[in-house]
Amino acid sequence: MVGQEKDKKSEDQCALCNATANSRCGGCSKVSYCTKEHQKKHWKIHKGECCAWKVCESTSLGRYLTAVRDIKAGEVILRERPILLTPPKVTPAICLGCYREFNTDPEEQVQREYVEPRPCPKCGWPMCQNDECINSPEHAAECAIAEARGGAVIRDFNVDHPVYRSIGILRVLGLKDRHPDKYQKLLNLQSHSEKQRLEDAKAADSSSLHSNAAALGRFGGEYPEQRSEIERDKVVTVKVVRGFFQRKDVDEDTILNLISIIETNGHEIPIPNARGHINRRLIGVYNNTSFLEHNCKPNCVKTFDMADKAIVIRSAVPIKKGTNLSISYVDPLWGTNDRCNFLQMTKYFTCKCTRCRDPTELGAHVSSLRCQSLKCCEKTGLESLVIPEDPFAPEKDWVCIACKETYPVGYVSSIVNKIGKDMDELHEKFGDIPAIEEFVKKSSKFLSPFHFYLLEMKVELAQLYGRTPDEPILALAPRKLLRKIQLCEELLIVLNKIYPGYNRLRGIITYELQAAVCTLSKMKFAAGEIPLDKHLDELMQCGKWMTEVIKVLGWEPENSIEKQRADGAAQDLQLLKSMVLSIQGDQNEGAQPSTSMDDMDNSPDRESFIEEVF
Ligand SMILES: [Zn+2]
Ligand SMILES: [Zn+2]
Ligand SMILES: [Zn+2]
Ligand SMILES: [Zn+2]
Ligand SMILES: [Zn+2]
Ligand SMILES: [Zn+2]
């Protein structure tokens, strides 16, 4: 109470001179000022602490971030450089400066951007020919430790090297030696064991909720790495660090804890090459970002800045003051079982967000099946779907929301497994539109239209139509353009339910949608099938979508496919703009202005639309 009083008083006083204040900082709402001048003067001091969130702590959630003011969609909320950068756990030999793989075949080097290895003169670890890599600040940590040990030697470049698993720990020890403040920050982050403890305290009954239901998901319970393997690797890393590298100053528990901290908080950074292909990945650990909550319907999105490997967190939707900020650690298009199993396996916690608790997954029905009862056959859409009775009780029956017919969980998993196998076969015929359409048609008899299998295939189809070499978009038949539009619209409806606001996937689908609508509109107008005002309306709508695409995909890293789309959309928007202006120009020169054209010119809607788009 006393604390609150004090807070209130200080908010009403100018942060610089203590005089009565009458305006707050627009960035954080945390400090007030008497005048604009004092705000300007104080900025040097306030800059470092001005942000739209604060770190809170509770016994059930641990630390988390809360909005301290209303946040608009698309704002940069947080941008920070990593405390630690490390190669992924499983990697063949790579340069520890630029993370490129080695290969001595000159042809492969050009094709896949491999580099030729040479030993670092100081530590012997293989590096590329670039001196910058050998002298990079990141390599300095393992370089010094390996040099003190008498050097590291790697001979076989084409197999995964377990010794690379210790790089993360060696780099942490480098921080301990040279940047104790950063080392302390890292140690302060949560590890699995801590998360698990909080989870257990929160709900004793929920720790193994989804483990029995693994068979209901995409991966059938088979994950690339099982927990026992992970544990074994940790022990090997301890031996390498304490034995081979002679760092006896850190005990086993500290190393195990540090491995957990990197696993729990690490973000994978995909690095696109010049052609947009991802052939290098890094793990970055960030300080404040680590306090962001996970949510299967997140309100924030992350991107990376390749220049300094900073993570950039933006609001995906408008966020009200006092709301917790969240990102998703899993693909939001996965069904509840896959999401929960993956989170359990990799991040060691059970998600109990509103989407996970809702058997309909917020009405998106990403895991639901179609009812096979005769009574229900007539119904279409989302009316007769089969959902789990209780998403947290995997042994319980599933039930039709319309006729209440029950389905044993064994039936559900047999359907999901069967269709999963069909889909694996389909993946082998990549890009085969008729085969994918056939799969969609066949499995739609058993699955909700937004089931995770169908979503995956519909996302692929939406991008395939009009993008194959033999059928570019301008050569696409109107029937296929309509199908592309239908797919995009369907996907945007689901995204609004489970992955709302600005995000990469929405950007990609919107890009495909505007391309199809624009092409079809031009086609129909040229054939005299739609009047001029409808054509103009559709072009305006496309302009609006393009603006969104340019914004959202423009956040993605340089060279990435998404960034290339954003740049393409920016050019298309210029073309569209001149096209609309020239149509409007022709229209104004028309001798006999018709009433409908008068209406159009006077329409305030249209005026503001043009402003907004262009
Ligand atoms: Zn003042
Ligand atoms: Zn501020
Ligand atoms: Zn390099
Ligand atoms: Zn070195
Ligand atoms: Zn969840
Ligand atoms: Zn039914």
User: Could you count the other beta carbons within 10 Å of the beta carbon of residue 195?
Assistant: 16
- Using pLDDT thresholds of 50, 70 and 90, give the confidence band for residue 150: confident
Q: What is the pLDDT of residue 117?
A: 85
Query: 403 or 150: which carries more pLDDT confidence?
Result: 403
Q: What is the pLDDT of residue 591?
A: 41
Query: In angstroms, what is the span from residue 67 Cα to ligand 2's centroid?
Result: 13
- Using pLDDT thresholds of 50, 70 and 90, give the confidence band for residue 173: very high
Q: What is the pTM of this model?
A: 0.85
The rounded Cα 405 to chain-centroid distance in angstroms is 37
Q: What is the pLDDT of residue 435?
A: 95
Res 501 pLDDT > 90:
yes
523-541, pLDDT tens digit by residue? 999 999 999 999 999 999 9
Q: Mean pLDDT, to the nearest integer, of 459-484?
A: 95
Q: How far is it, in rounded angstroms, from Cα 99 to Cα 501?
A: 33
When mean pLDDT is compared across 82-86, 249-253, 322-326, the lowest value belongs to: 249-253
Query: 494 or 104: which carries more pLDDT confidence?
Result: 494
Q: Which of 504, 460, 461 is nearest to 484 (CA)?
A: 461
Q: Which CATH architecture has domain 465-588+598-613?
A: Up-down Bundle (1.20)
Q: What is the pLDDT of residue 195?
A: 59
Q: How far is it, in rounded angstroms, from Cα 547 to Cα 543?
A: 6
- Using pLDDT thresholds of 50, 70 and 90, give the confidence band for residue 8: very low
Query: In angstroms, what is the span from residue 47 Cα to ligand 2's centroid?
Result: 7
Query: 476 or 381: which carries more pLDDT confidence?
Result: 476
Do residues 527 and 534 lie in contact, with contact meaning Cβ atoms separated by under 8 Å? no
Res 224 pLDDT > 90:
no
Query: In angstroms, what is the span from residue 250 Cα to ligand 5's centroid?
Result: 37
For the chain, what are the domain ranges? 2-74, 75-88+163-357, 92-159, 465-588+598-613
553-576, pLDDT tens digit by residue? 999 998 899 999 999 999 999 999
Q: How far is it, in rounded angstroms, from Cα 544 to Cα 577?
A: 11
Q: What is the pLDDT of residue 112?
A: 65
Do residues 96 and 125 lie in contact, with contact meaning Cβ atoms separated by under 8 Å? yes
Percent of the chain with pLDDT over 70: 84
- Residue given tokens 């919107």 in the structure block: 510
Q: Mean pLDDT, to the nearest integer, of 500-515?
A: 96
Query: In angstroms, what is the span from residue 144 Cα to ligand 4's centroid?
Result: 7
Query: In angstroms, what is the span from residue 136 Cα to ligand 4's centroid?
Result: 9
Q: How far is it, in rounded angstroms, from Cα 326 to Cα 437?
A: 35
Res 379 pLDDT > 80:
no
Assign 3-state DSSP to the chain and report helix, strand, coil percentages, each to 5: 50, 15, 35
Q: What is the SS3 assignment for 607?
A: helix
Query: 353 or 233: which carries more pLDDT confidence?
Result: 353
Q: Mean pLDDT, to the nearest integer, of 461-475?
A: 94
Q: How far is it, in rounded angstroms, from Cα 488 to Cα 508?
A: 10
Q: What amino acid occupies position 341?
A: N
Relative to the alpha carbon of 329, which ligand is closest? 5
Q: What is the pLDDT of residue 3?
A: 37
Q: Kindly report the CATH number that applies to the domain delimited by 75-88+163-357.
A: 3.90.1410
CA distances 110 to 157, 188, 337, 564, Å, are 17, 43, 42, 22
Q: What amino acid occupies position 420?
A: G
Average pLDDT, the chain: 84
Query: 566 or 59: which carries more pLDDT confidence?
Result: 566
Long-range pairs of 347-350 with CB within 8 A, sequence gap ≥ 24: 347/192, 347/195, 347/264, 347/294, 348/192, 348/193, 348/195, 348/196, 348/199, 348/264, 349/195, 349/196, 349/199, 349/294, 350/199, 350/203, 350/206, 350/207, 350/209, 350/210
Pairing of strands 278-285, 266-272: antiparallel
Query: In angstroms, what is the span from residue 164 Cα to ligand 3's centroid?
Result: 15
SS (H, E, C) 456-468: HHHHHHHHHCCEE
Q: How far is it, in rounded angstroms, from Cα 579 to Cα 559?
A: 29
Relative to the alpha carbon of 18, which ligand is closest? 1
Relative to the alpha carbon of 133, which ligand is closest? 3
- Using pLDDT thresholds of 50, 70 and 90, give the confidence band for residue 152: low
Relative to the alpha carbon of 343, which ligand is closest? 5
Residue 75: exposure state from Cβ atoms within 10 A (0-12, 13-18, ≥19): middle
Quick one: DSSP state of residue 297? S
Query: In angstroms, what is the span from residue 130 Cα to ligand 4's centroid?
Result: 12
Res 10 pLDDT > 60:
no
Relative to the alpha carbon of 385, which ligand is closest? 6
Query: In angstroms, what is the span from residue 370 Cα to ligand 6's centroid?
Result: 8
- Using pLDDT thresholds of 50, 70 and 90, give the confidence band for residue 610: very low
Q: What is the pLDDT of residue 156?
A: 65
- Using pLDDT thresholds of 50, 70 and 90, give the confidence band for residue 105: low
